[in-house]
Amino acid sequence: MVACSVLEAIKLGIWDFEPQEAHSSEYEPTKSMPGSDEKLSILAQRLESGLPLWHPEDRRSYEEEVATQANTSA
């Protein structure tokens, strides 16, 4: 059996598993707060789907969202 996610690989005892490469255009970034239940849920979905955990455009801090809101309301 071939694993398609790290979770499947662990269950199968495949310890050197490397997920398929995925371009950031193949999955959506999240603006969820780091550490929030919503962000953790999205990371879990990515993990189960065999996608990279981190998207280059994911929100990284509280200040990042505040700055974005300030720019759009000006």
Half-sphere exposure of 56 (CA within 13 A, CB side): 5
Q: Is the pLDDT of residue 35 over 80?
A: yes
Q: Are 59 and 28 in contact (CB under 8 A)?
A: no
pLDDT for the residue numbered 68: 62
- Which of residues 41 and 63 earns the better pLDDT score? 41
Question: If you average pLDDT over residues 15-35, what whole number do you get?
Answer: 89
Structural domain boundaries of the chain?
Answer: 23-73
Question: If you average pLDDT over residues 51-70, what whole number do you get?
Answer: 81
Q: Are 46 and 4 in contact (CB under 8 A)?
A: no
